[in-house]
Chain A
Amino acid sequence: MIHITLICAAGMSTSMLTQRMQKAAESKNLEVEIIAMPESKFRKYKGETEVLLLGPQVRYLFEEIKAEFQPKGMKVAVIDMRDYGMMNGEKVLEDACKLLG
């Protein structure tokens, strides 16, 4: 089971993307759990996360979040703008899986 967490400012637009990623995962029979939340909530979030993806609109947080969470074993990345805009769940999921190698 792979846990992917998406964060943005209010967790609204990322929640649209999670649905599409989840669908893409189902069609590929991948076992993933994808959730979205505002950036401020994530620090107190106790659940598991292997891949942490930032919406492009909060990419200014990338360095800080990477420094904080990479040492805890998470892969941190910013979602590609075009894929985010087109809500390309399949591509974002693919990229996330690539991060895990």
Chain B
Amino acid sequence: MNNLTGLIEKYFVPMAGKLSKNKFLKAISNGFSVLLPITMIGAIFTLLSNLQIAPYQSFVKAVHLKEIFGFAPKVTTDMLAVYAVFLIGKALAEQYDFDDNVSTIVGALSLFSFLVLIPLGVSGKAEKSQEIVSIAGAMPTTYLGAAGLFTAMIVGLLVPFIYQIFINHNIVLKMPEQVPPTIAKSFSALIPAFSIAFFFGLIRFLFSLTPFGDANSFVYTMLKAPLANLGASPATFILFILVCSLMWFFGLHGGMIVMPFINVLYTAAGLENLEAYANGVAGPNLITNSSWIVFASLGGAGGTLGLCILMAFMAKSSRYKTLGKLALPAGACGINEPITFGLPMVLNTIMIIPLIITPIITFLISYFMIKIGIIPPLNGTTIPLGTPVVFPDAVSLPVYIHIQTDTAPCISFRIRMNQIY
């Protein structure tokens, strides 16, 4: 056992360290975490506008609240890529240790580059006649939301990367020494900025020559669709759970390492479900970014809520009883370090089995219940880490049925029954 631990500390820990320090992954994580208020506005306003309770609906319609609630999702959920590209660009610039104002400039340049890639002009049927009308100056919103999120991530990572090359190789406009440094600094952005502008202009032009027509259609077909298929498979999600649990078995923060990948693969799925919910239809995606917290991480990584309850009320050993009571309130908010390090789960060969299979089982049960239609798909609300366990379920699923909240802890409880007494 000591040999094994030694090997892990020697190879596995540095590898996890490298992964978690990767600038691109960190930028994705940090970008998405500051995006949260915007996604929450979209989600909560969608809920407020669409809550299917008849008296409530007639009330919000009568006092025009529905119009107020209804508009916010159109410029948040449906345009999330616009916010994302700015924030991811800024987040990566921060990873390169640029000054705050330079990071903001890089964020703005990322937004610019993203917008450049969208061809102007909208055409559609006129309202009354069957005539097709085109408006040349209008910007289509097709790729501003979920469909453009991948392009937003790519652009948001590419722009700071290019910018950084210029700065690190000192390819900037040099001012004579008499010019005050503050002024010289603001000019130093010019060469990288113009180069980035030209580069993305060129990309826009080159894509217009291809059958795809524009960069977003290309990314959508070549990347978004295959990745969405990959993400839609429960096996992919189970793999993430497995990696996360294994990391925690070695005492490393698995969630922090897996989360950027979850964001990349599943944010668009969540947005699509939210859009569907706003239109009053069931969401198309069975797995979204919130599936992680709602289904696969009840009480924290490893789904330890059942274990907390079990220990707090039924453990024979007084140490476990104390630990269970200590861990229960935090566990209800999805934080389980007390259990992971206190039980401990870390390097505990008895607990590794439930640590891995509990979240997989709770996830699979929910997945199949959604699949056969007992519970509706998650409506796409992004659940921040630390949200108490009943709350995500209440906002994520239409308020009526909720078997999941009741079953999952019981199951995780049953699995542990055989382990602890």
List residues of A whose CB falls within 8 A of some B CB.
8-10, 12-13, 16, 40, 55-61, 64, 81-82, 84-87
Partner of B342, one of A12, A58, A87: A87
- Flag if A84 contacts B16 (CB, 8 Å): no
Given known pairs A60-B17, A82-B344, A86-B338, the reply for A9 and B386 (CB within 8 Å) is no
B30 at the interface (CB under 8 A from A): yes
Q: Which residues of B sit under 8 angstroms from A85, Cβ to Cβ?
A: 323, 337-344
Q: Which residues of A sit under 8 angstroms from B346, Cβ to Cβ?
A: 56, 81
Q: Which residues of A sit under 8 angstroms from B330, Cβ to Cβ?
A: 13, 16
- Flag if B326 contacts A13 (CB, 8 Å): no
Given known pairs A9-B256, A60-B252, the reply for A84 and B337 (CB within 8 Å) is yes
Partner of B253, one of A9, A64, A84: A9
Residues 373-388 (chain B) with a chain A CB within 8 angstroms: 385-386
Q: Of all chain A residues, which has the CB nearest B347?
A: A81
Q: Which residues of A sit under 8 angstroms from B21, Cβ to Cβ?
A: 61, 64
- Kindly state the separation between the CA atoms of A40 and B29 in the bound complex, as whole angstroms: 11
Q: Of all chain B residues, which has the CB nearest A88?
A: B342
B57 at the interface (CB under 8 A from A): no
- Kindly state the separation between the CA atoms of A8 and B323 in the bound complex, as whole angstroms: 21
- Kindly state the separation between the CA atoms of A82 and B256 in the bound complex, as whole angstroms: 21
Q: Which residues of A sit under 8 angstroms from B201, Cβ to Cβ?
A: none
- Flag if B251 contacts A81 (CB, 8 Å): yes
B335 at the interface (CB under 8 A from A): yes
B244 CB to nearest A CB, Å: 12
- Flag if B335 contacts A13 (CB, 8 Å): yes
- Flag if B253 contacts A8 (CB, 8 Å): yes
Q: Of all chain A residues, which has the CB nearest B17?
A: A60
- Kindly state the separation between the CA atoms of A11 and B330 in the bound complex, as whole angstroms: 13
- Flag if A82 contacts B26 (CB, 8 Å): no
Q: Which residues of B sit under 8 angstroms from A12, Cβ to Cβ?
A: 335, 385-386
Q: Which residues of A sit under 8 angstroms from B16, Cβ to Cβ?
A: 60
B158 at the interface (CB under 8 A from A): no
Q: Which residues of A sit under 8 angstroms from B26, Cβ to Cβ?
A: 40
The listed residue with most B CB atoms (<10 A of its CB), out of A9, A60, A84, A87, is A60
Interface digits, B325-351 against A, CB 8 Å rule (1 contact, 0 not)? 010001000010111111110100000
B181 at the interface (CB under 8 A from A): no
Q: Which residues of B sit under 8 angstroms from A58, Cβ to Cβ?
A: 20, 252-253, 256
5 interchain residue pairs of minimum CB distance: A85-B342, A85-B341, A60-B17, A13-B337, A57-B253
Q: Which residues of A sit under 8 angstroms from B337, Cβ to Cβ?
A: 8, 13, 16, 55, 57, 84-85
Q: Of all chain A residues, which has the CB nearest B326?
A: A87
The listed residue with most A CB atoms (<10 A of its CB), out of B20, B256, B337, is B337
- Flag if B17 contacts A64 (CB, 8 Å): yes
B14 at the interface (CB under 8 A from A): yes
Q: Of all chain A residues, which has the CB nearest B256?
A: A9
B392 CB to nearest A CB, Å: 16
Q: Which residues of B sit under 8 angstroms from A13, Cβ to Cβ?
A: 330, 335, 337-338
Interface digits, B7-33 against A, CB 8 Å rule (1 contact, 0 not)? 000000110110011000010001000
Q: A16-B338, A59-B252, A82-B341 are in contact. List 5 more A-B contacts (CB 8 A).
A: A13-B330, A57-B337, A60-B14, A84-B342, A87-B326
B307 CB to nearest A CB, Å: 13
Q: Of all chain B residues, which has the CB nearest A58?
A: B253
- Kindly state the separation between the CA atoms of A84 and B16 in the bound complex, as whole angstroms: 21
- Flag if A59 contacts B13 (CB, 8 Å): yes
B160 at the interface (CB under 8 A from A): no
- Kindly state the separation between the CA atoms of A77 and B385 in the bound complex, as whole angstroms: 26
- Kindly state the separation between the CA atoms of A36 and B338 in the bound complex, as whole angstroms: 16
- Flag if A40 contacts B30 (CB, 8 Å): yes
Partner of B341, one of A9, A10, A56, A64: A56
A36 CB to nearest B CB, Å: 12
B255 at the interface (CB under 8 A from A): yes
Q: Of all chain A residues, which has the CB nearest B14?
A: A60
Q: Of all chain A residues, which has the CB nearest B251?
A: A56
- Kindly state the separation between the CA atoms of A88 and B218 in the bound complex, as whole angstroms: 55
- Flag if B255 contacts A9 (CB, 8 Å): yes
A15 CB to nearest B CB, Å: 10
Residues 229-269 (chain B) with a chain A CB within 8 angstroms: 248, 251-253, 255-256
- Kindly state the separation between the CA atoms of A40 and B323 in the bound complex, as whole angstroms: 29
For this complex, 12 residue pairs linking A to B, each with C-beta atoms less than 8 Å apart, are: A12-B335, A16-B338, A40-B26, A40-B30, A56-B251, A58-B20, A59-B13, A60-B13, A85-B323, A85-B339, A86-B323, A87-B326
A62 CB to nearest B CB, Å: 9
Residues 300-335 (chain B) with a chain A CB within 8 angstroms: 323, 326, 330, 335
Q: Which residues of A sit under 8 angstroms from B30, Cβ to Cβ?
A: 40
